[in-house]
Structure 1
Amino acid sequence: MISFFIACMRGMAGWPLSWVRAVGAGLGWLLWCFARSRRHIVLTNLRLCMPELTEAERLALAREHFRLVGQTLIDRAWLWHAPEAVVRSRLRWCGAPEVLSAQTPMVLFAPHFVGLDAGGTAVAMNAQQPVAFIYVTQTNPELEAWVRQGRERWGHVKPYFRHEGIRKIIVGLKRGERLHLSPDMDLGREDSIFVPFMGVTAATVPSLSRMAKLVGAQVVPVVTRLTAQGYDIEVGPPWSDFPSDDAKADTERMNERLAEIIRLEPAQYYWVHKRFKTRPEGEPSVY
């Protein structure tokens, strides 16, 4: 089954983008209809984070989110298999991409928007130095091999794995590697602190602050959004007030800035994740 899926993805790599997006929209519709547990998670997250919306508005936003999730999943066909010229033509840099060429230790704050993989691809394609990514391995060996090959297609990728800890990552940053970091998911109670995220207490790893402080790195936000032409990769200016001596205050500030970005296009944030899975002692599950 996995082999058939991968073969189909390879076959779609040469299709016009509009055809690929149509297949992705169909997949999103199927996920909305049949992935009931994920639909419940999305609607719960939206209820908690955007209580000002009506029920009809939340349903419309959730449907749009599933469409985008389906499209970004199928977009991996061309991201991972199409010729380089095709991939480059569909990835548009916005904001201040020249910041990425600075000769200084740098951590890229790349939050979990649905186009995260496309943004990682764009960064790796254009980097003059290795770009480090922190991966979680897939349980299926064949799927794992395919994902690794796609994400490491461009030669500047340096994979690290979460279970290995941060020592190797810190050494790499000191050697000039760029770290593409996505610290906005619930990774459990261990090493997390509880800070607000869009008005809700959330277990959050303070890794962005701690890693930047350990090596004196700049923190640069990189946000990727799906568009009709492909993806926009928006690079913001380095955060001038980050990190400080207070990792908790830094993590609160990170979540505040992320919330501002999310509200610009809320359907593009990765709501299918259980962002509030880990609760403070004594609080019941929100899911």
Structure 2
Amino acid sequence: MANGQPQATITEKPKGIAVHLYGILFGFLKLIGRLPYPVVNGLGGMIGKLLYLVKSRRNIVLANLKYCFPELTNDQRLTLCKAHFRSLGIGFIELAVAWYKPFKDLEKYQEVRGLEHYQKAQASGQGILFLGYHITSLELAGAVMSRHLDFAAFYRPNKNASLNYHIQKGRNNRSQTLGRNDIRTIGKWLKSGHNLWFMPDQDMGRKSTVFAPFYGKPAATLNSPMRIAKLGNAQVLPISYHKEHGKMILEVMPPIEFSGDDLADCSLMNQVLESCINKAPEQYYWVHRRFKTRPEGEASIY
């Protein structure tokens, strides 16, 4: 990160056998990271086929697809579901590439667009709130972003201290990760000209949310990006990322402005994220129960 950017806090290394066992696992991932990228994709595809067999996860994906894409036939949704799990398996093993493969070996597997929007926002001196979303290859997307953009990202600590230590250490090989902070502190940070990658597309319950359309269906949507942007006097740049023919395509999009009306702003945000997701819908993180929180009186879709 640039000078003056808050530095990530690495959790103190836990003691005990667990941290050493995880050390062996992540050491194995480092070896995988040295393999040719197409080989890693092939291994990930096989893992995806195994993940597809987990009925509980498969049912969540199919429920989300049926809810969001009612115009598709059952066979089309099943095909999309299988493609999703293939992408999920690739993303799972791809973190070895994202965390440990030298950047020079990744250059031909990435394409970056829209940097002029980032450069213009940087020149203003304002902080930037990058609006993102969860995809199956999120770790690789973050690694590519860190190569071209100056930012830090939230990291929700894992409850397993040993696993948390290795995950945080791996992610910090590429970019800075920050623990969860209160909105006021983040606002001050953005106001100082720092940048944040924020992904507000998951169901976090009813707190600080409004029901805004997501694929035409009511989804509990966080209003915190609007509050953060206002407190931090930050520019809001949506950012798109998806894989195409084995290459990560990263695009910084033009800035958007919030109006101050939560429903209108959350609807705008979801609409922008939808346009990004639609570039490669199988790669969105459909295994998450995005519609778990329902409006009063509406039954669960899961």
Shared topology, TM-score over 0.5?
yes
What is the CA–CA distance in structure 2 between the aligned matches of 1:29 and 1:7, rounded to whole Å?
24
Shift, 1:215, TM fit: 2.3
Partner of 1:8: 28
Partner of 1:118: 140
1:171 maps onto 2:188 in alignment: yes
Structure 2 runs not aligned, ≥5 long: 1-20
Structure 1 runs not aligned, ≥5 long: none
Superposed counterparts of 1:233-252, under 5 Å: 233-239=250-256, 242-252=257-267
The two structures, once aligned, show a CA RMSD in angstroms of: 1.7
Partner of 1:285: 300
The residue type equivalent to 2:281 in the other structure is P
Partner of 1:274: 289
The residue type equivalent to 2:279 in the other structure is L
The residue type equivalent to 1:73 in the other structure is F
What is the CA–CA distance in structure 1 between the aligned matches of 2:222 and 2:99, rounded to whole Å?
30
Quick one: which of 111, 114, 118 aligns to 1:100?
118
Q: Secondary structure at the match of 1:225?
A: strand
The residue type equivalent to 2:184 in the other structure is R
The residue type equivalent to 1:277 in the other structure is K
The residue type equivalent to 2:189 in the other structure is G
What is the CA–CA distance in structure 1 between the aligned matches of 2:202 and 2:189, rounded to whole Å?
23
Shift, 1:158, TM fit: 4.5
- Quick one: percent identity of the two aligned structures? 35
Quick one: which of 173, 176, 199 aligns to 2:216?
199
What is the CA–CA distance in structure 1 between the aligned matches of 2:37 and 2:106, rounded to whole Å?
11
The residue type equivalent to 1:150 in the other structure is G
Partner of 2:204: 187
Output one character per residue of 1:29-53: Cα deviation in whole Å (capped at 9) or x when no partner.
Answer: 00001x2111111000000000000
1:59 maps onto 2:81 in alignment: no
Range with bigger deviation, 166-175 or 38-47: 166-175
Residues 109 and 221, structure 1, Cα contact 8 Å, conserved in 2? yes
Residues 69 and 114, structure 1, Cα contact 8 Å, conserved in 2? yes
Shift, 1:89, TM fit: 4.0
Shift, 1:2, TM fit: 3.6
Partner of 2:11: none
What is the CA–CA distance in structure 1 between the aligned matches of 2:142 and 2:60, rounded to whole Å?
26
Partner of 1:208: 225
1:78 maps onto 2:97 in alignment: yes
Partner of 1:69: 88
What is the CA–CA distance in structure 2 between the aligned matches of 1:142 and 1:74, rounded to whole Å?
19
Q: Secondary structure at the match of 1:201?
A: strand
Output one character per residue of 1:70-110: Cα deviation in whole Å (capped at 9) or x when no partner.
Answer: 1111111121111231234433212x113223232211111
Q: Secondary structure at the match of 1:176?
A: coil
Residues 220 and 294, structure 2, Cα contact 8 Å, conserved in 1? yes
1:25 maps onto 2:45 in alignment: yes
1:264 maps onto 2:240 in alignment: no
Q: Secondary structure at the match of 1:10?
A: helix
Residues 160 and 169, structure 1, Cα contact 8 Å, conserved in 2? no
Shift, 1:3, TM fit: 4.0
What is the CA–CA distance in structure 2 between the aligned matches of 1:45 and 1:37, rounded to whole Å?
13
Residues 45 and 275, structure 1, Cα contact 8 Å, conserved in 2? yes
Quick one: which of 140, 159, 165 aligns to 2:160?
140
Residues 43 and 90, structure 2, Cα contact 8 Å, conserved in 1? yes
The alignment's TM-score, normalised by the length of structure 2, stands at 0.86
Shift, 1:19, TM fit: 0.8
What is the CA–CA distance in structure 2 between the aligned matches of 1:143 and 1:67, rounded to whole Å?
25
Q: Secondary structure at the match of 1:136?
A: coil
Cα separation, partners in 2 of 1:196 and 1:170, compared to 1, 3 Å: same
Residues 112 and 251, structure 2, Cα contact 8 Å, conserved in 1? yes
What is the CA–CA distance in structure 1 between the aligned matches of 2:177 and 2:37, rounded to whole Å?
29
What is the CA–CA distance in structure 2 between the aligned matches of 1:143 and 1:238, rounded to whole Å?
37
Q: How many residues align?
A: 278
Residues 28 and 71, structure 1, Cα contact 8 Å, conserved in 2? yes
Cα separation, partners in 2 of 1:166 and 1:190, compared to 1, 3 Å: same
Shift, 1:62, TM fit: 0.4
Following TM superposition, where does structure 1 have runs of at least 4 consecutive aligned residues deviating by more than 6 angstroms? none
What is the CA–CA distance in structure 2 between the aligned matches of 1:160 and 1:100, rounded to whole Å?
24
What is the CA–CA distance in structure 2 between the aligned matches of 1:139 and 1:86, rounded to whole Å?
33
Partner of 2:236: 219
